[in-house]
Structures are given as C-alpha cells and as structure tokens.
C-alpha cells in the first residue's frame, strides 16, 4: 500500500470555495469591517504622529513611571530616543496603532466569549478546538483569505492579527473564571446574589490577574503578527522588515527589528504591571479584597 491507495480529500478546494462564497455574498460585511478599521488605525496613527515626538516620548515615560517604576520610565525613554535616532519613530507609531486597535478588537470578542465558555461546558467544548486551530495554524496562512477579502493594505493585516491573537484572551479568561473557588460562588448564591452580581462582584475581580496575563499574550501575538502583516502592505515596522529582506538591506533590517524589540518590551512591561493587583484603581482593589474575604470565609 502507498499514499495513492487512499482517496484524496479536497479540503483545500472546499476551503477555497467557501472563501469565494463569502467574498461574493458577504462583501458588504467586509466593506464595513474595512472602512471602520482603516479609519481607526489610520486615525490613531495620524494622531500619534501629529504629537511632537519629544512630548509623546515624555508621555510614554510618565505613563511607565506611574504604572511601573522610575527605572522603567528612564529605560523606556532611552529606548524610544534610540528609535528616534534610527529614524523609525513614525513607523513604530504606525505599528503601535495597529497593535492597539487589534488588541482592543480581540479583547472585545475574547472576554465575553471566555466568560461564556467558563459558564457553559458545552460552549467550552466547542470553543476549545476552534481556539486550538486558530493558534496552531501558521500565521502566514491567515494572510491568504485576508488579502482575498480586503485586498492589499492595513485592513488584511489587522484582520489576520485579530484572528491570530484572539485565542490566549479567550483561554485565560475562561481559566480565570473557572479557577474562582466554587464555595465562594455558592456563598454568593446563598446570600441571594444573581448570576450577574456574582460575576461582577466575585468571579471577575478574582480572575483579573489571569485575564490580564491573557491580554498581555494578546498584545505580544498582535505585535508579532503586525510585523508579518507588512507582507501584505500594512504600514509600520513590518513593512520596513519586509523591505529589508527583499533588498538584503542589513542596516534597515537591524534598525526595524530593534525598534520592534523596544516597542515589545515597553508594551509587555506595561501590561504585566497592569496585571499586578497593587496597580489597580482603589475601587477595583476594594472589590478584589471583598471577593477574597468571601473566598477565605
């Protein structure tokens, strides 16, 4: 027996036909998605670029100081000054805009879906294999239908980025909600709390550190995919990297890659700090404290 003994299953052909059907019948939805995201990304990028570089750098440093520490603020400022000296400041801001919009879009979908999966074993059983598929599929594959739906530009970049970055947000939200002690939930029910009150007052506050860890992963995956999205014409550091590869320009590649690293470290440390309860607003810390007292009781 050899490979030819088995019948060929044309999964690729079926997928192509499905994408063609979507292109023909749901083009209006793709047009709305394209216009909204193009407006958001280009608007945010233009806004960031319009702010004088030194003022924006100072704002980033102050934000880092407030969220994390003075050392981090100084390190971030030095890193961003290096980006300016490499003349990659504007492209870095374009990439930042793409990552931020993709992250917000992914979170809007991931957190409700993760909560739903945590509340229903049936939904969890359906969602988990889909998330496995989305996370293990090679990132470059997402660019093919994205270009088919939206042509070349920033929109296929954000479309593929959202799909690739979504799974960690869903997984970590579900994990955080499920890991809340069941006795604490039962105590809330015994006091007459509704399902929404238990979710808002007990489960969600206690799950926030885990959810923030998921958001951190969403941002990191969005950044990695945003660079790959440069292959389909998305502006930013990804386009610089692709250009460097096509022309074998080592200097351009190193500078763009270093700018990506600096941006990644800044976003990673910020979101990691936001995942620390001591950095939460006082009202949220109070909620978490009350939820933990109930859990301990």
Which CATH number do you get for residue 259? 1.10.3720.10
The answer to whether position 15 is within a domain reads no
Q: Structurally, how many domains does the chain consist of? A: 1
Question: pLDDT tens across 249-268, in order?
Answer: 888 888 888 998 999 889 88
Structural domain boundaries, residue 54: 26-296
The answer to whether position 21 is within a domain reads no
The answer to whether position 243 is within a domain reads yes
The answer to whether position 13 is within a domain reads no
pLDDT of residue 231: 80
The answer to whether position 200 is within a domain reads yes
The answer to whether position 178 is within a domain reads yes
Confidence check: pLDDT of 78 > 90: yes
The answer to whether position 41 is within a domain reads yes
pTM: 0.81
Q: Kindly indicate the confidence band of residue 141, based on its pLDDT and cuts at 50, 70 and 90.
A: confident
Higher pLDDT: 237 or 288? It is 237
Tokens for 216, please give them.
Answer: 């951190």
The answer to whether position 206 is within a domain reads yes
Please compute the mean of the pLDDT values over residues 43-55 and round it to a whole number.
90
Q: Report which of 72, 95, 48 is spatially closest to residue 219, judged by C-alpha positions.
A: 95
Question: pLDDT tens across 159-200, in order?
Answer: 888 888 888 889 888 888 888 877 777 777 777 777 777 777
């Amino acid at each position: 027996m050899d490979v030819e003994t088995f019948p060929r299953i044309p999964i690729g052909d079926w997928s192509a036909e499905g994408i063609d059907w979507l292109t023909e019948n749901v083009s209006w939805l793709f047009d709305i998605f394209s216009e909204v995201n193009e407006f958001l990304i280009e608007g945010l990028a233009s806004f960031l670029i319009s702010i004088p570089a030194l003022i924006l750098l100072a704002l980033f440093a102050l934000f880092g100081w407030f969220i994390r520490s003075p050392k981090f603020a100084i390190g971030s400022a030095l890193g961003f000054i290096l980006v300016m000296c490499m003349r990659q400041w504007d492209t870095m801001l374009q990439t930042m805009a793409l990552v931020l919009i993709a992250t917000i879009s992914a979170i809007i979908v991931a957190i409700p879906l993760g909560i739903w999966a945590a509340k229903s074993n049936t939904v969890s059983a359906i969602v988990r294999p889909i998330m496995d598929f989305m996370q293990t599929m090679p990132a470059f594959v997402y660019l093919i239908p994205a270009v088919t739906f939206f042509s070349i530009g920033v929109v296929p970049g954000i479309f593929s980025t959202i799909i690739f970055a979504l799974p960690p947000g869903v997984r970590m939200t579900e994990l955080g909600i499920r890991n809340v002690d069941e006795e604490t939930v039962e105590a809330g029910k015994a006091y007459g709390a509704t399902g929404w009150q238990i979710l808002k007052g007990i489960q969600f506050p206690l799950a926030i550190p885990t959810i923030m860890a998921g958001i951190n992963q969403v941002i990191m995956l969005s950044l990695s995919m945003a660079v790959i999205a440069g292959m389909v014409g998305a502006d930013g550091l990804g386009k610089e990297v692709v250009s460097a590869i096509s022309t074998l320009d080592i200097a351009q590649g190193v500078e763009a890659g270093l700018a990506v690293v600096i941006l990644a470290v800044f976003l990673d440390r910020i979101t990691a700090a936001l995942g620390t309860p001591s950095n939460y607003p006082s009202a949220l810390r109070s909620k978490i404290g009350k939820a933990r007292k109930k859990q301990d009781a």
